[in-house]
């Protein structure tokens, strides 16, 4: 059963990732960021300009096709997005916690250079 994708409004601004409050996490070691819902992830991915030269990929020391990943997320293909990342990185859940995305892939991104963050 293929559902017709609902039309989404493009957002110019970054969607902040929800986090557990300090009062909730003070006595445990569970994850702090709660992540995105699928709709939030797709809306955030829709901010990508799909640049031909992919400066985000050039900024990634592992060589992940960031634009391809974002494109798959935008289409709701989460499994395809994960598969793409795992072509270059077998431990994305671990390395994603320490990767300085703001400098490496987001830094050269044209979305940030065009005045949105």
pLDDT tens by residue, 13-39: 888 999 999 999 999 999 999 999 999
User: Which range marks the domain in which residue 78 is found?
Assistant: 37-113
* CATH code: domain of residue 72: 1.10.1060.10
pLDDT tens track for 32-42: 999 999 999 99
Give just the sign of the alpha carbon dihedral 100, 116, 38, 71.
negative
Tokens of residue 91, six digits:
């431990």
% of the chain beyond a pLDDT of 70: 85
pTM of this prediction?
Answer: 0.78
Total domain count for the chain? 1
CB 8 within 8 A of CB 46: yes
In a domain, 27, yes or no: no
């Amino acid at each position: 059963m293929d559902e017709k994708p609902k039309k989404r409004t493009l957002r110019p601004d970054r969607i902040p990732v929800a986090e557990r409050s300090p009062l909730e996490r003070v006595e445990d070691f569970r994850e702090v960021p709660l992540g995105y819902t699928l709709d939030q992830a797709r809306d955030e991915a829709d901010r990508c300009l799909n640049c031909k030269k992919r400066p985000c990929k050039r900024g990634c020391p592992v060589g992940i096709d960031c634009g391809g990943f974002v494109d798959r997320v935008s289409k709701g293909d989460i499994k395809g997005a994960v598969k793409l990342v795992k072509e270059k990185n077998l431990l994305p859940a671990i390395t994603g916690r320490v990767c300085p995305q703001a400098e490496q892939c987001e830094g050269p991104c044209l979305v940030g250079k065009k005045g949105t963050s």
